[in-house]
Amino acid sequence: MIAVQVVVVGGGPGGYAAAFLAADLGLKTALIDPELNPGGVCVYRGCIPSKALLHVAKLVTEARHADAWGITFSEPAINLDKLRAFKNQVVARLTGGTGLLAKSRKVQYVRGLASIEDAHTLRVKLTSGGEETVQFEHAILATGSVPAVPASLRLPGGDDPRVMDSTAALDLPDIPPSLLVVGGGYIGLELGSVYAALGSAVTVVEMTPGLLPGADRDLVDILAKSISRTMKAVLLNTRVVQMKAEPAGIRVTFDGGQTGDAVFDRVLVAVGRRPNASVPGLDRTQVRLDERGFIVVDEQMRTAEPSIFAIGDVVGEPMLAHKASHEGRTAVEVIAGHKVVFEPQAIPAVVFTDPELAWAGLTEAQAQAAGRTVSVAKFPWAASGRAITLDRVDGLTKLLIDPATERILGVGLVGSGAGELIAEAVVAIEMGATASDLKLSIHPHPTLTETLMEAAEVFFGQSTHVYKPKRP
Ligand code: NAD
């Protein structure tokens, strides 16, 4: 039997961040997960392997584009075994590191699947066989999410390896001549970009009128232009109503903007994820789920059961690793008796396509929906020296500013490397920075970070590289 002060169920970026902080704060801690090392979906079959593949995809795309700069490479020869090995090595290196970090901190890592006995006892079915009992003062549930697959996207005759979820697609079984991506969200666009760069003819089908619902349209428009060049087709306002496995491929029936049917070599289904609250025995506690299946928590990550906390994808959107880590750290601090709550002003979102799309804080769509008046200052990357040197003027930096206080309320970015640039926006929003703060902070030249400073200058009608005088 193991007796600890804190047990964390689920070893993803939320769970392991929580377990490591608990140990750092001197609490006797155990972390339970079926994988060899901490890492969870994000590290084993999500954020990390997809980013390794997107890095390669970007190289292929740039090499093709280099012809315009006077450097012509021959068409890439793709060795899938080696590419898979690179991706697996990235995962192994990172998870090896988290495993070592757990050991160094004396976090007891238990490989297995947990079920709940009561509000202070877990039973773990060990991966190695047998069972272990864990008694705890506090538990943190960090069980994440799983792909959502509606009935219309299930094959009537049972599973077929040609219909993939993100996990199967990341395994790179082959480079299919044709791939249908169902869902024009984060996963669909990221993995669709990988397959398109490797040579598949990719079609994206999205049921709403635009890609990446939730993101501002002016940002998405720039990404959509690039996608229209790299992918074979984007079908908007269209749903997949039926799929059928045939020897030649998967026959897919569309309805809406596009009707009829077509056959694809492979299909990737990426229509969202649902919370994984299916921890056996949860019903023996006071933990409650909402109507969408998320565990209900307060701003201190407490469930209705005083000894049990929950964090990450299983407690609500956005389902992002960095949100989970921060919630995990909040839960641990609360357990340690600190006076803290989880109340971020900005949770950044990044779509790692090419160009990347990122936003933090208020979006223009949210401001409009709330009837909130905001000033919008935009700096197009065509006016950025750095973007021109990179031959990447397909970008836009946008600030949403409170007209009364001149505080930065939100930032939207699209462009190469936008995912790195958004971090400055998060700091600005969290610190209550005003447009003047951004304008007066000297940004290094020539860098893309200057687009944030110059967008603030645009707000005052004083941008060096954009002539847009402020109307009196
Ligand atoms: P998503 O919510 O981003 O996108 C799903 C898309 O599918 C939406 O645009 C939706 O309108 C569309 N859709 C739903 N049902 C459909 C149907 N029947 N036919 C056609 N389109 C349909 O979900 P996802 O791409 O599956 O990703 C899941 C979650 O994983 C994301 O919400 C995100 O939180 C996380 N994620 C994040 C990153 C990142 O941070 N870069 C990357 C991948 C995944």
Q: What is the pLDDT of residues 337-389, one digit of tens each?
A: 999 999 999 999 999 999 999 999 999 999 999 999 999 999 999 999 999 99
Distance, in Å, from the CA atom of 180 to the CA atom of 249, rounded to the nearest integer, reads 11
pLDDT over 90 at 171, yes or no:
yes
Token match 């021109």: residue?
A: 388
Residue nearest to atom 5 of ligand 1 (CA): 271
Percent of residues, the chain, with pLDDT higher than 70: 100
pLDDT over 80 at 472, yes or no:
no
Residue 104 burial (10 A CB sphere; 0-12, 13-18, 19+): exposed
The domains found in the chain, sorted by start residue, are: 2-147+274-335 (3.50.50.60), 151-271 (3.50.50.60), 349-459 (3.30.390.30)
**Mean pLDDT score, 20-24:** 98
Distance, in Å, from the CA atom of 49 to the CA atom of 42, rounded to the nearest integer, reads 8
- What's the CA-to-centroid distance between 318 and ligand 1, angstroms? 11
Residue 216 burial (10 A CB sphere; 0-12, 13-18, 19+): buried
Is residue 267 in contact with ligand 1, taking CB distance under 6 Å? no
Q: Please pick, among 65, 322, 338, 445, the residue that the annotation labels catalytic.
A: 445
- pLDDT band at 158; cut points 50, 70, 90: confident
Is residue 45 in contact with ligand 1, taking CB distance under 6 Å? no
- pLDDT band at 469; cut points 50, 70, 90: confident
Closest by alpha carbon to 45, among 117, 94, 104, 80? 94
pLDDT at position 470, please? 78
Phi and psi, residue 298, nearest 5°: -95, -170
pLDDT over 90 at 157, yes or no:
no
* pLDDT averaged over every residue in the chain: 97
Is residue 54 in contact with ligand 1, taking CB distance under 6 Å? no
**Mean pLDDT score, 226-251:** 97
pLDDT at position 428, please? 98
- What's the CA-to-centroid distance between 464 and ligand 1, angstroms? 39
Is residue 41 in contact with ligand 1, taking CB distance under 6 Å? no
Is residue 206 in contact with ligand 1, taking CB distance under 6 Å? yes
Cβ count within 10 A of residue 164: 22
- pLDDT band at 309; cut points 50, 70, 90: very high
Residue 415 burial (10 A CB sphere; 0-12, 13-18, 19+): buried
465 assigned to active site: no
- What's the CA-to-centroid distance between 339 and ligand 1, angstroms? 35
Distance, in Å, from the CA atom of 398 to the CA atom of 34, rounded to the nearest integer, reads 43
- What's the CA-to-centroid distance between 184 and ligand 1, angstroms? 7
Closest by alpha carbon to 414, among 228, 220, 227? 220
Distance, in Å, from the CA atom of 417 to the CA atom of 356, rounded to the nearest integer, reads 6
Distance, in Å, from the CA atom of 166 to the CA atom of 172, rounded to the nearest integer, reads 10
- Cα dihedral sign for 8, 92, 185, 425? positive
Token match 């299916």: residue?
A: 278
Ligand 1 atom with minimal separation from the 349 CA: 40
Distance, in Å, from the CA atom of 249 to the CA atom of 261, rounded to the nearest integer, reads 12
- What's the CA-to-centroid distance between 384 and ligand 1, angstroms? 32
pLDDT over 90 at 48, yes or no:
yes
